[in-house]
Amino acid sequence: MPKLKTNKAAKKRFKITARGKVLKPSTLRRHLMTDKSSLEKRGLRGWTAVDETDRKRVDPLIPYR
């Protein structure tokens, strides 16, 4: 069976944890930040887990973890 190619865009956007969870950067951080409170902005830092329904679309893009 031939080797599978990793989607480079997905590789840059997602991280895989040691237990196999898929993480993505938080959304709503690009613009309109002045309207958000400090507490709201602090909560958007870091990474969040990808939902199981979306994970089915992400998994084939990153075949070798």
The answer as to whether 36 is a domain residue is yes
**How many domains, in total, are found in the chain?**
1
16 lies in which domain range? 8-61
The answer as to whether 49 is a domain residue is yes
The answer as to whether 2 is a domain residue is no
Q: What are the residue ranges in the chain where pLDDT is below 50?
A: none
Specify the CATH number for the domain of residue 54.
Answer: 4.10.410.60
Question: How much is the pTM?
Answer: 0.81
Each residue's pLDDT tens digit, 17-33: 999 999 999 999 999 99
> Can you list the pairs that 7-15 forms with residues at least 24 positions away whose Cβ atoms lie under 8 Å?
7/61, 7/62, 10/58, 10/61, 10/62, 11/61, 11/62, 14/50, 14/58, 14/61, 14/62, 15/47
The answer as to whether 56 is a domain residue is yes
pLDDT at 38: 97
| Average confidence score pLDDT of the chain | 94
The answer as to whether 1 is a domain residue is no
